[in-house]
Copies of this chain bind each other. A is one copy, B any other.
């Protein structure tokens, strides 16, 4: 497959030279074929699944898709190629010449010289029908086939691009990537939402733990990253995270992926917000530029209106308001909230949505939250009487809270005082001595 790509590049470079017929056809992806700017009869081999078939008197039109892009490649064949096996859903290998398409719908089409059916498909038994838009609930029944549909294909390509963009962003910014452990004995956020892990073997002695101590699936790599940031300055992880919350909402999954980063020597929330805004914008712009058609499909069918909203977000600087300002805005709102906004209380989704709208549908950083709302390790602003810490949440239109972060308290005596006040002193003394797993 690598050779195929190199060949294509070579073909592009000398596409005006005559192409000797005996040269073996280079394997190209549909995406690669569609990307050829001035097709000139290059001999190529394309493999994929038939998305549509249209038979005319003397010509046969196929659309072949291989998952490399949302768009399919049009294959034009002599009608003698027609056969029963050339059906919607069948996989084929087509060899032929890549030529400029006479149609305005596409730049390029493949003039077939040879079509081989690699795997035939019984269109009657196949659960998806040509040109039909199946509801997501219907697709859910076919986990082994549903990724061949446009909508799931697009979502997974976007996810793949976003994943790559996140890795690149941190690498380009000098962060060291850390694989924080999935199995861990530390339960960052209290035991209620944890999954416990044990060997499934039936011969195990009941009281004997495999790891000597109870272990869980990670709810956060934060503690491990904090340690690592004491050596590498800038570190990140992007791994699976788990919550045993038995809730059936769109916002709660038992298993999900989360980006976490820790930066040493950070002096201001401003610097932290700069990282967050850059991560958001770089990732979004990479996805938009690498799979525009997939994003278009999502905007058309899954999230109408999101396109303009996203462009609006990317064009503007994100806003910054303090928690205190946010509460003032909410108090002055004409809207009635289920939860009355009050200084010292958490912001609810209804509040977050209002704030984002109020700020002109631009992502907004809310900073300096009440000390009582946040964990003990966030940095005390030592202000008063409304006592706050240097925490930040990024609220995003259509989502609500997307990122959260804080400066960490580095002043030992303040940490000691807060642990004492929260009755955690002993727990954190022990923590240091526990033979916990890294």
Contacts and interface: CB of A to CB of B under 8 A. Distances in A.
A3 B278 CA distance: 11
Given A47-B264, A265-B47, A174 B29 contact: yes
Contact of A173 (B2, B192, B200): B2
B181 A255 contact: yes
Contacts of A191: 200-201
Contacts of A192: 201
A231 B147 contact: yes
A252 to B, nearest CB: 13
A176 interface: yes
A5 B239 contact: no
A183 interface: yes
Interface stretch (A159-167, A314-322, A358-366, A367-375): A159-167
Contact of A67 (B48, B231, B240): B231
Nearest to A157: B176
Contacts of A211: 254
A194 interface: yes
A370 B102 CA distance: 53
Nearest to A66: B233
A356 to B, nearest CB: 25
Interface string A217-250: 1000000000110111110000110101010000
A414 B399 CA distance: 50
A198 interface: yes
A188 B121 CA distance: 27
A1 interface: yes
Interface core residue of A29, A144, A173, A193 (most chain B CB under 10 Å): A144
Contacts of A213: none
A318 to B, nearest CB: 15
A182 B156 CA distance: 17
A120 to B, nearest CB: 11
A32 interface: yes
9 contacts: A1-B275, A67-B232, A68-B234, A147-B232, A183-B217, A193-B201, A194-B201, A195-B199, A211-B254
A22 B31 CA distance: 52
B145 A230 contact: yes
A342 interface: no
A143 interface: yes
Interface in A121-165: 143-145, 147-148, 152-153, 156-157, 159-160, 163-164
3 smallest A-B Cβ distances: which pairs?
A: A67-B232, A199-B244, A196-B200
Given A68-B232, A164-B177, A196-B198, 13 more contacts: A1-B263, A1-B275, A2-B173, A47-B265, A68-B176, A147-B231, A147-B232, A159-B179, A179-B240, A183-B255, A195-B200, A196-B199, A211-B254
A244 B183 CA distance: 12
A436 B193 CA distance: 22
Contacts of A147: 227-228, 230-232
A410 interface: yes
A68 B174 contact: yes
A53 interface: no
A232 B163 CA distance: 16
A377 to B, nearest CB: 15
A176 B196 contact: no
A196 to B, nearest CB: 4
B233 A173 contact: no
